[in-house]
Amino acid sequence: GENVEQHPSTLSVQEGDSAVIKCTYSDSASNYFPWYKQELGKGPQLIIDIRSNVGEKKDQRIAVTLNKTAKHFSLHITETQPEDSAVYFCAASYQGSQGNLIFGKGTKLSVKP
Amino acid sequence: DTGVSQDPRHKITKRGQNVTFRCDPISEHNRLYWYRQTLGQGPEFLTYFQNEAQLEKSRLLSDRFSAERPKGSFSTLEIQRTEQGDSAMYLCASSFPHRGAQYFGPGTRLTVL
């Protein structure tokens, strides 16, 4: 079955710097890759997603890149702010957005003012 | 607010007791998912419904777990004879048909003493 690995497990940056979180997946049939942000005591919040027919997607300060050949995808956050501090999860599905999501173990991002 | 809602938000029970959680999806979302999240881990898929039909169940869903979505709207997840290993956050998500992303509720945190 699918396995998703996520790195790093913790990331600390200064406010205004960029943050990059990387994920690799094992199943080449996976075709949908969402990213979620989870704050303490809350459910995961979808922040951006990408499908396998697209190499890059951007939404304001957040971007995701996908390399299907290498089976890895990355989240890029620019101009980080303290409110970006949270745990970020990547996920993959071989059944599109309707399928069961296989999640990475998460990255705890701390943005220091 | 028309997001996914879950009730209760917290549940403390003694080992051996039965518990039931409720999830109300975003209206018009026909798919409803249950995930479980333990501390320091990403969510793990349990089961999902399309309308009232339960289409897939994970191996994680032991015989003590049962989920229903009787009228294709809200769903319940029941755990019978709870064990300490059942302590976790139980998350519900829903999505539109056809290419819709999954949106999560706030979760129900279960503690089994």
Say if the Cβ atoms of A103 and B40 lie within 8 Å: no
Instruction: Please check the confidence at residue B1 and state whether its pLDDT lies above 60.
Output: no
| B-chain residues near A6 (CB < 8 A) | 42
- How far is residue B40's CA from residue B65's CA, in Å, rounded to a whole number? 23
Residue B98 has pLDDT above 80, yes or no: no
Distance CA A48, CA A106 (A): 15
Contact yes or no for A97 and B101 at CB 8 A: yes
Q: Does B77 touch chain A (CB under 8 A)?
A: no
Q: Note the pLDDT tens digit of each residue in B45-94.
A: 999 999 999 988 988 888 999 999 998 899 999 999 999 999 999 999 99
Q: Which residue among B56, B102, B106 sits closest to A42, beta carbon to beta carbon? A: B106
Q: How close is the nearest chain A Cα to the Cα of B32, in Å?
A: 10
Amino acid code (one letter) for B12: I
Q: Does B53 touch chain A (CB under 8 A)?
A: no
* CA-based torsion, A103, A39, B40, B94: positive or negative: negative
Q: CA torsion, points A43, A1, A19, A37, in degrees to nearest 10?
A: -10
What digits encode the pLDDT tens for the residues A40-55?
A: 989 999 999 999 888 9
Enumerate the residues of chain A whose CB falls inside 8 A of the CB of residue B103: 46
Q: Describe chain B by its helix, strand, coil percentages, rounded to 5.
A: 5, 50, 50
Q: What is the mean pLDDT of residues A87-106?
A: 88
Would you call A104 an interface residue with chain B, using a CB distance cutoff of 8 Å? yes
